[in-house]
Amino acid sequence: MWEAGRTLRLVTVEPATESDLARTRRARRIDRALAERYPDAHCELDFRDPFELLVATVLSAQTTDVRVNLTTPVLFARYPDAASLAAASPDDLEEILRPTGFFRAKARSVTGLSRALVEQHGGQVPGRLEDLVKLPGVGRKTANVVLGNAFGVPGITTDTHVMRLSARLGLTTSDDPLVVERDLCQLLPRKDWTMASHRLIFHGRRTCFARRPACGACPITALCPSAGIGERDPVKAAAMLKG
């Protein structure tokens, strides 16, 4: 729990001149600090099996995990597997997915994805990155979500929060998801990749907001070259925290 009376410490980190070893050590200290702050960090999409997680992740584009979680119980009650979803009525599917936004495109996407699973993998979600990214509408981000959370295969998920925080923290200088994924993989132990992604996402949703981060209530200000760009006052920053 953040103590509102603590004083914000600005940092002296200079990413431009930071050595690779220093950056690696700082990245791992950041991850440890976020692990203490968010001990319950996890995938916030509800799922019971790899198929449900794959579909839910595809549906999460341009909407919130909360909205997806409100929609998928109805979807999977009617279409519990790839075979049934592949044969779904477009009109019925669009109506179910309407609350998630872009529902026509999403209906086509999950139908095509399901057909590919049936035709290429016997209706089962493959457990290899190289197979997942060949499925329609599935990129490395979605594949790493599924592998990390449904199969226990470590991976970095370069969603918007991970991309934003990696740049703010000086852990990458790129805005290319593939490069950011590579940079974070080089900085963190492989066993920690999945959980490190969850912790960055939790931090981005609860503290390090896009427009105005709660810097005065952040546990990693001493490790962040962007510390102080948001609300510095500890009391005001603590009031901004979510979750």
pLDDT in tens, 12-48: 456 568 999 999 999 999 999 999 999 999 999 999 9
Distances (CA, A) of 125 to 103, 135, 223: 23, 10, 39
In angstroms and rounded to an integer, the radius of gyration of the C-alpha atoms of the chain is 20
CB 150 within 8 A of CB 113: no
* Confidence (pTM): 0.91
- To the query of whether residue 92 is one of the catalytic residues in this protein, the response is no
Task: Say what the pLDDT of residue 243 is.
Answer: 80
- To the query of whether residue 159 is one of the catalytic residues in this protein, the response is yes
Helix (H, G, I), strand (E, B) or coil at 70: helix
Q: What is the DSSP string of 70-87?
A: HHHHHHHHH--SHHHHHT
- Out of 141, 176, 192, 236, pick the active-site residue: 141
Domains of the chain, start order: 20-42+156-240 (1.10.1670.10), 50-151 (1.10.340.30)
- Out of 31, 159, 175, 176, pick the active-site residue: 159
- pLDDT (average), residues 82-105: 96
Phi/psi for 37 (5° steps) reads: -70, -35
Cα–Cα distance for residue pair 212/231, rounded to 1 Å: 7
Confidence band for 131, pLDDT divided at 50, 70 and 90: very high
